[in-house]
């Protein structure tokens, strides 16, 4: 699995904006991730994860609905991290931790913690044939996430790209630890009361069918 492609930091970000992130307890890059994330996770009996949180709207919404649970967002784009950090400050949200490290680096820092829900909403489909190897979700990825989910933990995936959806299904089907619970094609975000994100609204405006998949980890690694 290739970990990340693209620019991590927008050229328009100001130093004072980035300082907002590094001054907070709720953000970390690789330099202090393990210590900070351990401190955060130990505060909650139930943890959830979103990979590639974009503008952070879903993460904010989920955290507000379940203030007793911890939510972690992993997204390499600094602009997205800054955007959600400002929202967290304005809304006084204390149960979200965000990081700009790549997923594999994140994985190495949370091996002692397990997540009840994993959200992957509208991941980059990399539609060109030569770029498909860059997609986040593949067979190797399902092995990785099986290590950090609780037994019967949920994986909620939403995409509006039909070819990627097929690949996602094949990847999870190849891993006997996972079971497909639900898979629907419709224009309603019904899984776990998902927030209508920017990408969801964009898909709707184009009259695109949205694919919803819900998997469960039915068997933990031995």
Per-residue pLDDT of the chain (222 residues; tens, 9 = 90+): 544 444 455 556 677 777 777 766 678 777 788 888 999 999 999 999 999 999 999 999 999 999 999 999 999 888 888 889 989 989 999 999 999 888 888 998 888 899 999 999 999 988 888 888 889 999 999 999 999 999 999 999 999 999 999 999 999 999 999 999 988 776 665 566 788 888 888 888 888 888 999 999 999 875
What per-residue confidence (pLDDT) applies to 15? Answer: 73
- In percent, the amount of the chain with pLDDT more than 90 equals 51
147 within a domain of the structure (yes/no):
yes
172 within a domain of the structure (yes/no):
yes
92 within a domain of the structure (yes/no):
yes
9 within a domain of the structure (yes/no):
no
Do 67 and 44 meet the contact criterion of CB atoms below 8 Å apart?
Answer: no
Q: Token pair of 132, please?
A: 């498909």
> Which residues have a catalytic role annotated?
124
pTM of the model: 0.88
Do 20 and 85 meet the contact criterion of CB atoms below 8 Å apart?
Answer: yes
Do 122 and 174 meet the contact criterion of CB atoms below 8 Å apart?
Answer: no
The neighbour count for residue 131, using CB atoms within 10 Å, is 13
The total number of structural domains in the chain stands at 1
The DSSP annotation for 78-109 comes to HHHHHHHHHHHHHHT--SEEEE-S-HHHHHHH
7 within a domain of the structure (yes/no):
no
Q: Tokens 């994986």 correspond to what residue?
A: 155
Do 72 and 97 meet the contact criterion of CB atoms below 8 Å apart?
Answer: yes
Look up the CATH number of the domain holding residue 188.
Answer: 3.40.50.150
116 within a domain of the structure (yes/no):
yes
2 within a domain of the structure (yes/no):
no
164 within a domain of the structure (yes/no):
yes
Domain range enclosing 92: 15-217
């Amino acid at each position: 699995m290739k970990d990340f492609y693209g620019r991590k930091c927008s050229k328009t970000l100001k130093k004072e904006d980035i300082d907002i992130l590094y001054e907070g307890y709720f953000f970390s890059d690789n330099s202090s991730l393990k210590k900070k994330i351990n401190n955060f996770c130990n505060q909650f009996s139930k943890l959830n994860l979103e990979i590639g949180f974009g503008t952070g709207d879903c993460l904010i919404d989920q955290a507000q609905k379940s203030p007793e649970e911890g939510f972690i967002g992993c997204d390499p784009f600094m602009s997205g991290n800054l955007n959600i950090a400002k929202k967290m400050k304005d809304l006084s949200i204390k149960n979200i931790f965000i990081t700009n490290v790549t997923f594999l680096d994140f994985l190495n820092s949370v091996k002692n913690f397990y997540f009840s829900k994993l959200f992957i909403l509208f991941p980059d489909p990399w539609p060109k044939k030569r770029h498909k190897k860059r997609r986040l979700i593949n067979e190797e990825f399902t092995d990785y996430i099986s290590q950090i989910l609780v037994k019967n933990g949920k994986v909620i995936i939403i995409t509006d790209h039909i070819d990627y959806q097929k690949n996602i299904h094949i990847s999870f089907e190849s891993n006997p630890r996972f079971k497909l619970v639900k898979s629907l094609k419709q224009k309603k975000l019904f899984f776990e009361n998902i927030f209508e994100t920017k990408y969801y609204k964009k898909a709707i405006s184009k009259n695109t069918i949205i694919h919803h998949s819900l998997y469960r980890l039915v068997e933990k690694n031995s």
